[in-house]
Amino acid sequence: MTNISGTDDIIIRREGAAGFLSLNRPKAIHALTLPMVHAMTAALLEWRDDPEVRAVIIDHAEGRGFCSGGDIAFLRNSALNDGGVSGRQFFHDEYQLNHLIFTYEKPVVAFMDGITMGGGVGISQPARFHVATENTRYAMPETGIGLFPDVGGGWYLSRLPGRIGQFLALTGARFDGAECKWAGLATHYLPHEALAEAKARIAQGHEPGQVLAALSATPPHARIEDNALRIAKHFASDRYEDILASLSTDDSEWAAKELATLQTKSPQTCKVALRQLAESLMCADFAANMAMEYRIASRVLTLPDFAEGVRAVIVDKDNTPQWNPATPEGVTDDLIANIFAALPAAEEWKPL
């Protein structure tokens, strides 16, 4: 099969009735670069009008993990060196790809077999079918690096039951495949060993939904279900201080652990995430959600917490970020309002 992507970091090919977008940056756990985003977008646009392509499969070529996120080092470099110009371009084009997948007329099947985080969620969650396995490790860990759960996270997380979305957005908790299926973050649960057969049948022209249903397995018990009532109770408020206060009144080991986790996160981006999820519920459609998230991304990219969070967690790995503001109380309503404010008309995000 010929790779038609123009970059070695993604293998784009046709196999029977299916178009394949196979991420191929194993050393970076397939983190998305701008050339990968552009190659995927171009292929989807080409296949949209090709009658021989009846379904699209998004997977990874080799190595552990489906996709660990976006190119964080690139984004930090942009924040520090070009005022965020190239970073905003990355977000703009990545969000157009997310929206294209969400609105694609042909069935798209994303196989979340392994680490699926950040940008990996952005290219799997909008697919008509997103498949978890026993290898799935799903998270939106952005508040830990001073970012926020973007790539459509506002849309998906806000619509989960029982405040599970707010819990995921704030804590960056990792869900396994069974937990994804239980929470509604996966349409199907397949054992890893069944994936090759599923892809082969889809490539043979079989309807993807029927293929996935036939090969699905019953997932094991979802551990998060045991804490669902606690999450619904303690994460009920859209006010970050209320969530911290609620957890602090619970003397359970679970509450202590979640409170300790939250105290490592950027107070600014935790407040951003809560407002993002609340406002997403008022968005008329996915495009409106992505326009909102682009406004947030344009501002958060160049605020101090992002460069500092990436420094602490990814560059120096000392895990001692100095957040600015340092406390939830220090994050003013005015700061949050400015982050969410409309951009100049010519700079607003628009779908392809």
One-letter amino acid of 289: N
Question: Distance (Å, rounded) from C-alpha 83 to C-alpha 94?
Answer: 19
Catalytic residue chosen out of the listed positions 9, 59, 113, 150: 150
DSSP 312: I
Nearest CA to 137 out of 74, 94, 192, 202 is that of: 192
Q: Can you tell me which residue has the tokens 């969530």?
A: 243
Cβ 152 vs Cβ 122: under 8 Å:
yes
Q: What is the DSSP string of 40-54?
A: HHHHHHHHHT-TT--
Phi, psi (5° rounding) for residue 186?
-135, 135
HSE (CB half, 13 Å, CA atoms) of 324? Answer: 8
Please count the other Cβ atoms lying within 10 Å of the Cβ belonging to residue 222: 17
Tokens representing 145 are 């690096």
Measured over the CA atoms of residue 160, residue 189, residue 135 and residue 95, the dihedral's sign is: negative
CB 44 within 8 Å of CB 56: yes
206, 198 contact by CB (below 8 A): no
- Amino acid in the structure at residue 238: D
- Does residue 119 have an active-site annotation? yes
Residues 77/125, Cβ–Cβ less than 8 Å: no
Active site (annotated) includes residue 142: yes
Cis (ω within 30 of 0) for the bond into 325? yes
**Distances in whole angstroms, Cα of residue 62 to Cα of each of 65, 117, 328:** 8, 17, 41
Active site residue 150: yes
Q: Which DSSP state fits 66? A: S
Which residue out of 114, 119, 120, 309 is catalytically annotated?
119
The Cα 30–Cα 68 span in angstroms is 6
Q: Which residues, in sequence order, are CB contacts of 346 under 8 Å at separation 6+?
A: none
Please identify which of the residues 59, 94, 113, 142 carries the catalytic annotation.
142
The catalytic residue among 70, 146, 154, 309 is: 70
Catalytic site positions: 70, 119, 142, 150
